[in-house]
Amino acid sequence: MSKTPAPVDPAIFKAYDIRGTYPDQVNGEVAYQIGLALAAYLSPNSIAIGRDMRLSSGELFENISRGILDYGVDVIDLGLISTDGLYYAVGKFDFEGGVMITASHNPKQYNGFKICRKNAAPLSGQDGLNDILKAIQNNEHKKSPSRGNIVRKDIAEDYAAHCLSFIEPSKVKPFKVVIDAGNGMAGATLPPVLEKLPIDTVPLYFELDGSFPNHPASPLEIENLRDVQKAIADNQADFGAAFDGDADRMFLVDKRGHQVGGDMVTALVAKSLLTKHPGETILYNLICSRAVPELVEKMGGKAVRTRVGHALIKPLMKKYNAIFGGEHSGHFYFRENWFADSGLIAFLVCVELLSVENRPLHEMIQEIDPYVRSGEINSRVKSIPDRIERVAEAFGDGQQDRMDGLTVRYDDFWFNLRPSNTEPLLRLNAEAVNKNVLDSKVKQLLDIIRS
């Protein structure tokens, strides 16, 4: 008589991935059930699995692999890699599925799974993840009489060569660059690339350590960039870069210590690619600055506005055959990368652009960005729908749309208010032509949201 598996907390199944705290929500037993159900859902010959350096990732790898193998499906063990490395492997080697064991930028007590199918197409809540959850809850999946095999594959050199193919390394100038890997996977994926370039790297926290002894590997938060800022000043570096835990997101820091937002990196990459490939389509999510579509259109490209989130953007990249897409959160998608995101490729394209233009990063940003932004302001409220409707009524004279939450646009100001996909929060992002307008409007908005 087979044992009934322990229940899986449905809260770990998010809009874009599976993620929760270890070991209460995500553990070996949960990983095993996910592996068995995933193999049944995809029905592939093999699934590639990569993992980050989190302390629990090894155990989760052993157990999700056991579930996949028990269903009679082979496992391709990619070892310790970045999330964008996993996407590359699935696309390049034509694997029918891929799993990255990671909790991205979350604190050390978290872990989870980012899952994709053939051609690195992501599974999301609406496309696959909910089906896997239902199969687990209904105990539908059974072991196969024949067990799969596990094969080790090292993609480090292949992935480095792939990333470098997006630029002309001979054009790169010998910049001094501070790079903060945050004790995350960038510490493993960057060295094979950097050794091919004339960059003088000042490395911070390249040692893989899932306990994150120095700071959280989440460069979106400015407090996690303090070490980069100090190292830039101490070393008189030209600029800096910081990667998140699974190294798929990247942020730049200029020589004065100012964080360059993901939307401005989007603009820089778009500028470089449109110079080489005129008239192409660029996607940008609706949180990005107006400066992004303005630059794209000025350069003769086509700018397409999208919702937030990789599982939504990647299908749109294919639909529009877009050469590139960017998000304010530091995700950057490339057509020649199976429409998947890569922080490393974005970093290299920016380095090449800075080399070709031979101007400081802050000067290039000043040229394309006349606006001021609030950054993401989170509010915990009792009723998210009620607060959104109150705001919509108060700003009824603006141009409104509901593509993703509520966006309201005026000539001198715009904002987006949307629920978090992962937490019970309302996220406010605003932009204006000057600080006075921004401060006044943000205060008015927060008074309504938090009243």
> Which residues are known to be catalytic?
104
Ramachandran angles phi, psi of 54, nearest 5°: -60, 150
Q: How many Cα atoms are found within 13 Å in the side-chain-facing hemisphere of 197?
A: 29
Q: Which of 295, 300, 324 is nearest to 166 (CA)?
A: 324
User: H or E element: which one contains 271?
Assistant: helix 262-276
| Rounded-to-integer distance, Cα 114 and Cα 82, Å | 11
The counts of H helices and E strands in the chain are: 15, 21
Residue for token pair 């995809």: 42
User: Closest Cα to residue 220, out of 256, 194, 193, 182?
Assistant: 182
CA distance 199 to 215: 25
Whose CA is closest to 324, among 301, 348, 297?
A: 301
Q: Which two tokens stand for residue 434?
A: 């000057």
**SS3 label, residue 241:** strand
Q: Decide if 253 contacts 259 (C-beta within 8 A).
A: yes
Q: In the chain, what are the helix, strand and coil shares in percent, each to the nearest 5?
A: 40, 25, 40
Rounded-to-integer distance, Cα 425 and Cα 304, Å: 27
Please tell me whether residue 197 adopts helix, strand or coil conformation. Answer: coil
- Phi, psi for residue 250 in degrees, rounded to 5: -145, 140
* Cross-strand pairs, 74: 46
